[in-house]
Chain A
Amino acid sequence: MPEGKFCNKTPITTEEQLKATLGDKGGKQYYEEMNHLDVDSEKLWGAIQKTMKSRTKTWLEICAHCGLCAESCFLYQVNGRVPEQVPSYKIQSTLGQMVKKKGKVDNEFMQMCMETAWSKCTCCNRCGMYCPHGIDMGVMFSYLRGLLYSQGFVPWELKIGAGMHRVYRAQMDVTMEDWVETCEWMAEETEEEWPGLEIPVDKEDADIMYTCNAREPKHYPEDIAEAAILFHVAGENWTVPSEGWEQTSLSMFAGDWECCKDNVVNVYSAIERLRPKRAIGTECGHAHRATVIEGPYWAGREDGQPPAPYIHYVEWLAEALRTGKLKIDPAKRIKEPVTLQDSCNYVRNQGLKDVTREIISYIVEPGYFVEMAPNKEHNYCCGGGGGFNGIGLYREQRNVALRKKKQQILDTGCKLVIAPCHNCWDAIRDLEEEYEIGIRWSFLKPLVIGMLDVPEHLLPKDE
């Protein structure tokens, strides 16, 4: 069983391994080692027998190869509509074959599977809506990724990503100390403009426990400050946990199931420890999917629910605007054509389509909001979902994938795109970098802060 130094079947569990793997520039040695990585067929077949449940079996079995899913897939559309990009073909030729051959597959086949699972599918689940049988190939690809990960066939960045989650319980190297320090820093930086603003850490029995994405403390701590400002103005009794603050899951994209569970249990323990009335996650799509939609099942929770009601940021924001906790100054509403990106992970996968539009109704001057076509649960993936954004090996394919969103945005004629999801935000930024179509993009938080009608008593006294 030759296993490479970097490319092997063992997950990264220590900081040392992480640094060493990161030091392998661009995964050069990693991918070289992958060419010699053996497939443990017995283990693979064992895993399939143990984990492939009736739904997946049925789906593989009843697929009629009708091809109705083809047009539903944006990757099929932007890649010249070649048969190799039809979702049913993609899954049948990979997972389907793996099962047919009872795991007796070779290195070349596994590498082909890896390329298919990570560069020809973003797990956006749009195909599942168009299959006459309701077969969701996005779900199946997530499953296939898990099988591939266990055999070591996973893109370099995602091996590291899952390693980050194992070592730091966050997708980037942000320690608990870093996180708490960043919260203090942001409170300090913001309190002058917003007297009385606090970022309470580990406050028990608060109404809200807020969780976020490690990118925020790492590179964009303003995002945390913005969340704090909005909670402050809305008069919320809120807190962040010192441990269990990070709700993202690159491990989910990598297929590291064990790590997925560990991370989500860590977030749930924070809820159990601090007993908030409810938890709220930041403007992120996959993090919501990981902690709210799939997480309870990973954690083996009987009721399929997190320990406390756990809502997405857009749900809280809509509620705050609806109940008047946050008031918008009508004069400051957006008065230019603006469109909205529906994030697959909480719109298609959880149905929050009306909530975001409710927010739009408060912050955009009537007549200026332009829907993308298609939209809501039929919207296309931004082009960078499922970990696609972060994989250097498939950068070219990812850039092609962005063309669908580019066209959708161009068709709206808008120069401003609201993207309440980190991954969509990133993809749209890259899209502008790559294709230069002259757009701006934003999360909701800064937009809302810019148009708040702030009660007198919350303003600094001396001006």
Chain B
Amino acid sequence: MFKKILLATSGAPSTFGAARVAFDMAKRYGAEVVVLNVMGVPTKAFSQVVNDVRTGEEVEVDDEYRSWVEEELKTTFEKQFETVEFSKLVLTTGVPHREILRCARDEDVDMIVMGASSGDSNVYRKGYPGSTLQRVAKAARCPVMTVHRETASYWGGFSNIVFATDFSKQAASAFKFSLNAAKELDSDLTILHALDISGKVLDQNEIEDRLIAARERIRGTYDLGDFKNCDIEVWEGVPYVEIVKMARERSADLIVMAHHIRELDPEKARIGSTMEQVILRAGCPVISVSKPDKV
């Protein structure tokens, strides 16, 4: 399930965590890493003039610039490239989310790994709302892993997976992925449903009833087969808080969630999305699954 990993990186320090996890997975599971760098966003003419994604400055893409970027990336990830057997570097120009999706499709990868902070919102993005991450997570056919903070305690590998479900259609794919990963990596799995009681006034009995119902629903919905290392938990509260709390409690090194936010307009889908909040706050990689193709 981890044969080919696409690492999307601008080469900036904010993506080092993602790189570390991607290369670590590749080393552990013998996967190939495709390192994609979208050098710049086309400004005019035939895409040879682009805004450098890191500086925002206008540059002309030619062989010289290309090899300079390549050299930069090779130097940045030098040690990591050495640790894996198969890797390649893909450089392109375009709108970042679109090129990440294009590359994932062309290379038929099993997972996309990227940093979570896109930094400033460049002028080019205004005409097409939504962050790179939102857009990639929405359309990718494979799971998308984001690593927001390089966790010092992350030793590599996954031994504790927390799968947070909202019972959506996409969550069924996310569950399949979690179960397969847990089996393959021989790790513990926690299935959590965070009962959303934010802004609601409920008496304790009703909350208890709902917790019991949710527990039943998890049992009825997700077939674990003969997999034993699994806990089922239902906590009430604000979903993203509960998910992050659970991850801390279990010392989870991976959180899996379903992605089904349709709204890309950041004004409307403001950071309200549970997914984004979890990514920002969790101390471990977060995987979002939206489609059943690669689970």
Contacts and interface: CB of A to CB of B under 8 A. Distances in A.
Contacts of B60: 25-26
A425 B127 contact: yes
Given A25-B60, A441-B127, A219 B95 contact: yes
A340 to B, nearest CB: 16
A462 interface: yes
Contacts of B123: 429, 432-433
B169 A429 contact: no
Interface in A162-197: 164, 171-173, 185, 188-189, 192-193
Contact of B48 (A22, A218, A440): A22
B46 A222 contact: no
Interface in B195-212: none
A266 interface: no
Contacts of B98: 219-222
Contacts of B124: 429
B45 A392 contact: yes
Contacts of B62: 22-23, 25
A463 interface: yes
B126 interface: yes
B217 interface: no
A193 B138 CA distance: 11
A392 B46 CA distance: 11
Nearest to B42: A219
Contacts of B105: 185
Nearest to B99: A219
A426 B49 CA distance: 14
B100 to A, nearest CB: 13
A285 interface: no
A3 to B, nearest CB: 23
Interface string A141-164: 000000000000000010011001
Given A222-B128, A440-B126, A390 B44 contact: yes
Interface in B232-282: 262, 265
Contact of B46 (A173, A426, A442): A173
Residue with the highest number of chain A CB atoms closer than 10 Å, among B46, B48, B105, B128:
B46
A442 B291 CA distance: 29
A164 B46 contact: yes
B136 to A, nearest CB: 12
A185 B64 CA distance: 32
Contacts of B102: 185
Contacts of B141: 188
B169 A219 contact: no
B49 A172 contact: no
B94 interface: yes
Interface string B61-84: 011100000000000000000000
Nearest to B265: A450
A56 to B, nearest CB: 30
B47 interface: yes
Contacts of B64: 25
Interface string B31-47: 00000000000111111
A161 B49 contact: no
B139 interface: yes
Contacts of B44: 389-390, 392, 426, 430
B46 A172 contact: yes
Contact of A189 (B45, B127, B139, B265): B139
B46 A220 contact: no
A189 B48 CA distance: 28
Instruction: Name the interface size band of chain A.
Output: 35 or more
B50 to A, nearest CB: 11
A430 B265 CA distance: 21
Contacts of B139: 189
Contact of A390 (B45, B94, B128): B45
A410 to B, nearest CB: 17
Given A219-B95, A429-B124, A160 B47 contact: no
Interface in A312-354: none
Interface in A278-327: none
B10 to A, nearest CB: 18
Contact of B127 (A25, A160, A442): A442
A392 B43 CA distance: 11
A89 B116 CA distance: 56
A23 B66 CA distance: 12
A25 B45 CA distance: 13
Nearest to B124: A429
A390 B49 CA distance: 10
A430 B101 CA distance: 26
A426 B124 CA distance: 10
A462 B169 contact: yes
Nearest to B64: A25
Given A25-B62, A429-B123, A429-B124, A218 B169 contact: no
**Max chain B CB contacts within 10 Å: which of A164, A189, A389, A432?**
A189
Contacts of A189: 101, 139
Contacts of B43: 430
Contact of B47 (A185, A218, A426, A441): A218
B62 to A, nearest CB: 5
Contacts of B127: 425, 429, 440-442
A157 B63 contact: no
A193 B264 CA distance: 13
A239 B257 CA distance: 37
A232 B116 CA distance: 34
Contacts of A433: 123
Contacts of B168: 463
B95 A220 contact: yes
Contact of A157 (B45, B94, B126): B45
Nearest to A395: B44
B126 A193 contact: no
Given A220-B95, A433-B123, A157 B46 contact: yes
Contacts of A192: 291
A426 B45 CA distance: 11
A141 B26 CA distance: 59
A125 to B, nearest CB: 23
Nearest to A425: B127
4 tightest A-B contacts by CB?
A390-B45, A433-B123, A157-B45, A390-B44
Given A26-B60, A219-B94, A222-B128, 19 more contacts: A22-B46, A23-B62, A23-B63, A25-B60, A157-B45, A164-B46, A171-B46, A172-B46, A218-B47, A220-B98, A221-B98, A390-B45, A392-B49, A426-B44, A429-B124, A429-B126, A440-B127, A462-B169, A463-B169
16 contacts: A25-B62, A157-B46, A161-B45, A172-B46, A185-B102, A219-B47, A220-B98, A390-B45, A390-B46, A391-B45, A392-B44, A392-B49, A432-B123, A432-B126, A440-B126, A450-B265
